[in-house]
Amino acid sequence: MRLEQGTIRYRERGSGPTIVFIHGLLVHGGLWRKVVPELERDFRCVVPDLPLGSHDLPLNPDADRSPPGIARLIADFVAALELQDVTLVGNDTGGALSQMVIANHPERIGRLVLTPCDAYENFLPPAFRPLQWLAHVPGALTALVQPARLAAIRRSPLGYGVLTVRPIDAAVTESYVRPFLRDRGVRRDTVAFLRKISPRDTLAAADHFAEFDRPVLIAWAPKDRFFKLKYAERMLDAFPNARLEKVEDALTFVSEDQPERLAELIAAFVREPAPAATAAP
């Protein structure tokens, strides 16, 4: 899909009500590869590869790479596909971006699903803030990622090992780090995004939660060490039409640890009749 900001690659499977899946930093749409097959029989599943470090095609040099800018890119992508009444599903950094979409570009979004993700002042979580600091030092982020050429490093707590209960297939994690290591333009996009991250943006999005009266599903891993359950409970109270479902035996990447459970929750959620619109006084 050619957009003003650049070209976005995406996967599309199935037909029916549309679900758009939003991933986070240093992964691509393959994060959802176990969930989409569970849903494609009854739903149109659209999975973009966003410019967050594991994408193949760098953005145009003048593109806005800030989190609000990427949220606008998501909204432009949805509009370019002429999608309506979309269920937006976000994880990790993608959950923060999804919050910015419903705050600033809610027109085509009919439902929201948030799995463990950044929210409020927790953007980035303290454990990941060194990534942001290193982004301000030329070459430092590249040096940090270089050891991830080794599968053992990617599997360890220094890599993706802290985000799942079960190890992710080595070929998948290799596909996550390869674009960053190979392409200067991808590194430019990633560094620019990291430098612009600020909890001001997630807090500003949260100011609009009460205005989003469409259904919200918060599917959270209560044992997640980075995105604590308290943030899910806080969002539950803030959205006027939300519910919280706990996904046990999972960490941040619930789509890896519990894909069937997550797919069941999403399918049931999308099939529910939308609440009737409130008449204006």
Which residues does the chain have with pLDDT short of 50? 278-281
How many other β-carbons are positioned within 10 Å of the β-carbon of residue 248? Answer: 12
pLDDT tens column, 14-72: 999 999 999 999 999 999 999 999 999 999 999 999 999 999 999 999 999 999 999 99
* Torsions phi, psi for 173 (to 5 deg): -65, -30
Q: Which of 229, 75, 68, 197 is nearest to 128 (CA)?
A: 197
How many other β-carbons are positioned within 10 Å of the β-carbon of residue 232? Answer: 24
pLDDT for 276? 57
Which tokens belong to 19?
């679900």
Chain position carrying tokens 């992710």:
168
Which tokens belong to 262?
């997550």
Long-range contact pairs involving 171-176 (C-beta distance under 8 Å, separation at least 24): 172/30, 172/33, 173/148, 175/28, 175/30, 175/54, 176/26, 176/27, 176/28, 176/30, 176/53, 176/54
Write down the pTM of the prediction.
0.95
Spatial contact of 68 and 91, defined as CB atoms under 8 Å apart? no
